[in-house]
Structure 1
Amino acid sequence: MLYHVLYSLHDVSIIFNVFRYITFRTFCAIITSALIVFVLMPRFIAYMRKRQFGQVIREIGPDHQHKAGTPTMGGVVIIFAVTLASLLWGNLNNIYLWITLGLFLIFGLIGFLDDWRKVSRGKSLGLTGKEKLVLQALTAGIFLFLALKYGTFDTKLSVPFFKEFRPDLGFLYFPFTMLVVVGASNAVNLTDGLDGLATGPFVIVAGVYLLFVYLAGHAKLASYLQIPYVPGAGELCIFCGALIGGALAFLWYNAYPAEIFMGDVGSLSLGASLGALAVISKQELLLVLAGGIFVAEALSVMLQVAYFRLTGGKRIFLMAPLHHHFEKLGWPEPKIIVRFWIVAIFMGLLAVSTLKLR
């Protein structure tokens, strides 16, 4: 909204011409989103404490009972901040901005319903796994249908480290990219088990995709780097900036020891946004590299469950997801968190390196 108002004044003064630039508006979105979280989060924490809407801790696994009652659902504030900042600084005529925001909000609503069941009942049971998967798959399907119908990209798949190898998945592209979105959402959700553990890597991956959506939307740079050109994708830089600003500000309160947790309302929506960015930038497989921490966490759960069933009760890890395995080994929580962040940084750098290592 501010973009349309302020840029329309560029004929009055050349100063307002700066608002045409995606880079400048991305910076504005980062600051705006962060400020909104900094202003609202303390009030939200106080409200949740007053209402006694706190995290319910399961008794199985590592001893986290000291965290019971910590306010949760901080993702509500993140979603509000990201949405408002994106609408203020984004080009509202851009279809990618609208469908990505829509996906982000609906996944947030799914997480909100899950969290609300938990805090209102005082139990660790929210939506069932099937209920969440059905709602997520339906939302991802609508997003992909709209992106393919109104967007300007194809069903070919970009493969990291290869310039010209772009297999066309055809009709298989639809279920594949649905898996990307739903998988990313749930992978971030699984990672959100320690204070700040998911937030740090999320900021790193969002930064990687901020670069890639900018390049994908820039015809000359996309041609030079030999990556798919997606007209209009660059506008998602504003959305990425809002995500980064909101998540960084939230980390101020979520860092160990956490004053608030993001809840499923935050983790599901943030994870889905990464999947959407990967799809629109035509860098779906890159998410495996950039989001290596999230992939490892999700794989640890799948391998643990499969091995447990096949062997009649044996386990690969002491506990899944992976961060709980290290807790069982005796690693202090802050050490696990920081080391996961370090790995996430290296994975992000590896993802960026694919621009030239091909």
Structure 2
Amino acid sequence: MLYHLLYPLHTTYSFFNVFRYITFRTIYAIVTALVISFLIGEVVTEMLRRYQIGQQIRSDGPKSHMSKSGTPTMGGILILIAMVGSTLLWADLTNRYVWLVLTATVGFGAIGFMDDYLKCIRKNTKGLLPRYKFSLQILVALIIALGVYRSAAYSPILSVPFFKNIIPDLGALYIPFAILVIVGASNAVNLTDGLDGLVIGPITVTAVAYTIVAYVTGHRTFSEYLLIPYIEGAGELSVFCGAMIGASLGFLWYNAYPASIFMGDVGSLPLGGALGTVAVISKHELLLALVGGIFVMEALSVIFQVASFKSSGRRVFLMAPIHHHFELKGWKEPKIVVRFWILSIILALLSLSTLKLR
């Protein structure tokens, strides 16, 4: 919005020419989302507390979590307001990719809101039934996948990290593949959300990585130099990723140990879905498995646990997702969180190195 209002003034006042630069608008998208979070964070927290929208703690989980019962949840609303608001202010709203990623954010946010509403307000412990929840996720991802696939400037090729000559063309199979990436990312992030600050740290790191990826993918000179697919207009997603960084940092202010607010599904589902969408649009889908390795590890721990228990009656971990396993091993919550953050930073650096190591 500010881009469309102020950039046309550059013909009269040269200062406004800075609005044409994605880097400038990305920086201020970060700052704006952060300021929005600080301005409304206390208001959202108090509103959730007043209406007694609190976290329900699993009785079979770590005993140290029982003290968290009743902590305001659905704090993802704060993230969505800051992220979407900042994007609308600073992004080029004529860019179709911006609207696709906003559709993913709002769509998955609505699904998360329905699940949290049933659990926290209607006191339905099951929430949105898995078959309905999963079906709605696939529907939103299908809309995104079709929007990307039908883009005139798009090609259904797959970029493989570390290998510049391996670029398989998936053809129409790209649609189910894109759905898998988006839905998988959304649910993997959701499974990681279990400790104070655990998920929002890797989300921030992953958003930083994809800010860079989106920028170089949408820059013809950089993409040709790095031998990566050039996607015209994809650079504008850097502004969205910047808004995600600012909103995540703002939420971390309230979610750091000991957390005064939890994000709930209304936060975790759209964050994962948005990252999956950015990965699909920027043609770095497989890279998400590396930079978001923490989310992959958490999801796989649940899959292995369930598969092992159903097949042999034995558990691979003391408890899944894996962060609970470390808790039951005696690790303190802050230590688990910080170590997972460190791993996330290492994976992000490794993933960015693949842009050159090809």
Query: TM-score scaled to structure 2, two decimals?
Result: 0.98
| Pairwise CA distance, 1:47 | 1.0
Query: Is the Cα contact below 8 Å between 2:223 and 2:230 reproduced in 1?
Result: yes
- Is residue 324 of structure 1 aligned with residue 332 of structure 2? no
Alignment correspondent of 1:138: 139
Alignment correspondent of 1:36: 36
Trace 1:4-23 onto structure 2 (pairs within 5 A). 4-23=4-23
Trace 1:149-164 onto structure 2 (pairs within 5 A). 149-150=150-151, 152-164=153-165
| Pairwise CA distance, 1:146 | 1.1
Name which of structure 1's ranges 212-221 and 141-150 shifts more when overlaid on structure 2: 141-150
- Is residue 87 of structure 1 aligned with residue 101 of structure 2? no
Letter in 1 for 2:8: S
Letter in 2 for 1:349: L
Q: Deviations over 1:91-131 (max 9, x none)?
A: 11100001110111010000000001111133532111111
Cα distance in 1 between the residues matched to 2:337 and 2:3: 38
DSSP 3-state at the match of 2:11: coil
Stretches of structure 1 lacking an aligned partner (at least 5 in a row): none
Cα distance in 2 between the residues matched to 1:342 and 1:123: 37
| Pairwise CA distance, 1:151 | 5.1
Overall identity of the aligned pairs, in %: 57
Cα distance in 2 between the residues matched to 1:84 and 1:337: 29
Stretches of structure 2 lacking an aligned partner (at least 5 in a row): none
Alignment correspondent of 2:53: 53
Letter in 1 for 2:286: L
Letter in 2 for 1:284: E
Alignment correspondent of 1:209: 210
Query: Is the Cα contact below 8 Å between 1:55 and 1:69 reproduced in 2?
Result: yes
Alignment correspondent of 1:333: 333
CA 1:193–1:151 in structure 2 vs 1: closer, same or farther (change >3 Å)?
A: farther
Alignment correspondent of 1:168: 169
Query: Is the Cα contact below 8 Å between 2:62 and 2:324 reproduced in 1?
Result: yes
Letter in 1 for 2:213: F
Alignment correspondent of 2:355: 355
DSSP 3-state at the match of 1:140: helix
Letter in 2 for 1:184: A
Trace 1:239-258 onto structure 2 (pairs within 5 A). 239-258=240-259
Query: Is the Cα contact below 8 Å between 2:105 and 2:273 reproduced in 1?
Result: yes
Trace 1:284-303 onto structure 2 (pairs within 5 A). 284-303=285-304
Cα distance in 1 between the residues matched to 2:352 and 2:70: 40
Letter in 2 for 1:181: I
Alignment correspondent of 1:276: 277
Cα distance in 2 between the residues matched to 1:287 and 1:347: 10
| Pairwise CA distance, 1:68 | 0.6
Letter in 1 for 2:345: I
DSSP 3-state at the match of 1:52: coil
Cα distance in 2 between the residues matched to 1:345 and 1:15: 36
| Pairwise CA distance, 1:240 | 0.3
Alignment correspondent of 2:343: 343
Cα distance in 2 between the residues matched to 1:128 and 1:305: 18
Query: Is the Cα contact below 8 Å between 2:149 and 2:175 reproduced in 1?
Result: no
DSSP 3-state at the match of 1:8: helix
What RMSD in Å do the two structures reach over aligned CA positions? 0.8
DSSP 3-state at the match of 1:131: helix
CA 1:307–1:151 in structure 2 vs 1: closer, same or farther (change >3 Å)?
A: farther
Cα distance in 2 between the residues matched to 1:262 and 1:139: 21
